[in-house]
Amino acid sequence: MSEGDTPRKSASSRTLAANRGVPNREFIHNRARMCAGPARRALRIIAMTGDIAALFDTQNGVVTTAQLLAAMGRSRLDTKIRTGELVKVWPGIYSRDEPDTGVRLAGLDLRAEEPVAICLGTAAAAYGFDTEGVVDLHVLNPDGHQLRNSDGLVVHRREGAPLGVVDGRPATMPEWTAVEVARGLRRPRALATLDAALRSGTCDARQLRVAAAQQAGRRGIVAVRELIPLARAEAESPMESEARLVMIDGGLAPTELQFEIVDRDFRTWRVDFAWPEGKLAVEYDGFDWHSDQDQFRRDRLKRAALQEVGWSVLSVVFDDVRHRPWEMLRRIETELRRTRAA
């Protein structure tokens, strides 16, 4: 399997657990008051000190045009923008460097004068189970302010969506997020998202079922509801999830995932998919596995060690899963039939 294809695991589940049950509106409004006070005081501070650098630091790396103009003239501001000393984050919001996700969100907070809740792929990334490499920010429209879609920003309305907190920011709950993201994906990627959500530790299968019930009647929910019983936390990459779904759909569901086998030298090897009753292992090899010579040698050693204790090992790659699934299934079925007959 390819290391680069593995969703990062998040430590933010502890933050989430500590904030489960926080009333949505009370939390947002409390945070809004916290944001609004410093924002209003900022202009007075600049007027007295002209300290823009301190303001950047206290506002998480962003300032408004009005705040900048309070410290410098329009001509100087235009020069700083033109020379790249100031970088536009959103209309009327600037940072000192190319903004990352945190700075972009801080800019939205400043525009809305309250913390903006994240959802869909942005929330999935914060929880540690984004499988799709989301670039655009997906946020919920604040109650008291109107944000509009723009380049890099998608604004949603989700009445009744349960909110939690991740890394100090309001976000749709992880189970809701996983189901909502999965509803918009093809079945293989939907399963990859559900697997990754379970692997992140931010939610469990029961919570996914509850979230699916809460989203009953919405587009794509029937397919997601059917996939939830198949979701497994053991899947280590999205393509492993896709490969497993091909096997399940083809009537060859693996008996074990991430199965450990001890060789003659008492070394323990782990394989992606296993049928212990037939001593068959299937490994998903990412595109870049062969480019690492150490990994290549380890793979050869692993195969030899497993074959010595009677195991057969097959490899599958991206093209097998996406473009030649029936050929992949035929190989697995043929090998299973052979090993079981041996």
User: Domain locations in the chain?
Assistant: 11-20+116-230, 24-112, 250-341
Q: What is the DSSP letter of 115?
A: P
The domain over range 250-341 is classified in CATH as 3.40.960.10: yes
- Bridge-based pairing of strands 137-140 and 153-156 is parallel
| pLDDT value of position 70 | 85
Burial of 23-62, coded b for 16+ CB within 10 Å and e otherwise, reads: eeeebbeebbeebeeebeebbebbeeeeebeebbeebebb
| pLDDT value of position 50 | 55
* More confident call, 152 vs 7: 152
Find the range with the poorest average confidence among 20-29, 48-57, 210-219, 303-312.
20-29
Band of pLDDT at residue 47, cut at 50, 70 and 90: very low
pTM summary value: 0.82
